[in-house]
Amino acid sequence: MNQTLTKTIGNLINFISYPLPNYAAKQAVKIFSTPRKGKLNIEETNYLKTASQETIIYEDVAIKTYSWSGTKSTILLVHGWESNAFRWKDLIEILKIEDYNIIALDAPAHGNSGSKIFNAVLYSECINMVIKQFKPSIVIGHSIGGTASALAINNHKLSPDKLILLGAPSNFDEVIDNYVKIMGYNKRVIKAINEYYLKYFGYYPEFYTVENFIKHITAEGLIIHDKKDRIISYKDALHISKHYKNSKLIKTVGFGHGLKNDVVYNHILQFLND
């Protein structure tokens, strides 16, 4: 979304917030929760056809999963915003050589999964369903997929042996704050958004902070974050590391938010094989 369009939409929602604050909040949350990218193209579709596919239903959302069989531990791969299971292709090929049993999923409103709306709480519930179905001993999550995985593990008292967080945000409210700043929403819209989250999710956005959902996780953790990540600040990794006691933090430089690099994959393999 270009800056001119963003400013226009933000001003329109600000205008609507005076007579109709709840409606303005609903539209603001809808924009925030609707991915513009993440659907599969032909190349991605053809690659994912090499996997065994299964659909898991959470409430009315169909979640597509992909499996590559192996004799070693089961690993679940959880992608982030405006992505899909294909983003793991390079790591999947490495893990296949190592003979791991690999599971990946498409998030709600991404890839081949259902729903038009995505949010981290919904994603965490879908991840919970996938973990209960496939029982992975290792979970690897990128960006909001990592944080949603931690939320699922904490809320449902799941017990994987290892959890790897790649470029993960430590607080959902900071993600929302960034969105609010980009759109230029006024205080009435911000207040209405907070009330909307309380009504539909039971908590204000600031509840979803690392202190509240990671300190009780017992899985051995690995946090990898790039110092020059322009999407999620490296400070988030420091925040997670501070509260995730059974974890170690690896800082990279120059790999960006995607962290698609052999150096990162080698760190992951070393952690898996320890």
Single-letter amino acid code for the residue at 78: V
- From 207, 226, 260, the end of a domain falls on 207
Q: Are residues 48 and 85 in the same domain?
A: yes
The backbone region for 101, taken as left when phi is positive above 0, alpha when psi lies in -120 to 50, beta otherwise, is beta
**What pLDDT score does 243 carry?**
95
Q: Are 144 and 123 in contact (CB under 8 A)?
A: yes
Cα 86 to Cα 6: distance, rounded to the nearest angstrom: 29
191 is in which domain, residue-wise?
1-33+172-207
Q: What are phi and psi of 67, to 5 degrees?
A: -130, 135
Q: Are 169 and 236 in contact (CB under 8 A)?
A: yes
CATH of the domain at 213: 3.40.50.1820
pLDDT above 90: residue 176: no
Q: Are residues 49 and 124 in the same domain?
A: yes
**What pLDDT score does 1 carry?**
61
Distance of CA 165 to the CA centre of its chain: 10
| Tokens matching residue 90 | 């390079």
In tens, the pLDDT along 37-51 reads 999 999 999 999 999
In tens, the pLDDT along 90-118 reads 999 999 999 999 999 999 999 999 999 99
**What pLDDT score does 178 carry?**
84
Q: Are residues 101 and 228 in the same domain?
A: yes
Q: Are residues 86 and 117 in the same domain?
A: yes
**What pLDDT score does 197 carry?**
86
Cα 118 to Cα 233: distance, rounded to the nearest angstrom: 22
Give the H or E element holding residue 142. Answer: strand 138-142
Cα 226 to Cα 223: distance, rounded to the nearest angstrom: 10
Cα 257 to Cα 86: distance, rounded to the nearest angstrom: 16
In tens, the pLDDT along 59-96 reads 999 999 999 999 999 999 999 999 999 999 999 999 99
Choice among 147-151, 175-179, 181-185, 247-251 with the minimum mean pLDDT: 175-179
| Tokens matching residue 259 | 């962290």
Q: Are residues 190 and 119 in the same domain?
A: no
Q: Name the pLDDT band for 216 (thresholds 50, 70, 90).
A: confident
Terminal-to-terminal C-alpha distance of the chain: 43
pLDDT above 70: residue 170: yes
Angle at alpha carbon of residue 36, lines to 202 and 256, rounded to 5° = 90
Q: Are residues 98 and 26 in the same domain?
A: no
Q: Which of 101, 155, 99 is nearest to 127 (CA)?
A: 155
Q: What are phi and psi of 102, to 5 degrees?
A: -115, 135
Q: Are residues 203 and 213 in the same domain?
A: no
Q: Are residues 91 and 222 in the same domain?
A: yes
Q: Are residues 28 and 65 in the same domain?
A: no
Q: Are residues 149 and 189 in the same domain?
A: no
pLDDT above 80: residue 2: no
CA distances from 94 to 174, 210, 229 (A): 34, 30, 24
The number of folded domains in the chain is: 2
Q: Are residues 128 and 194 in the same domain?
A: no
Choice among 90-94, 95-99, 173-177, 245-249 with the minimum mean pLDDT: 173-177
**What pLDDT score does 8 carry?**
93
- From 207, 227, 260, the end of a domain falls on 207
Q: Are residues 143 and 189 in the same domain?
A: no
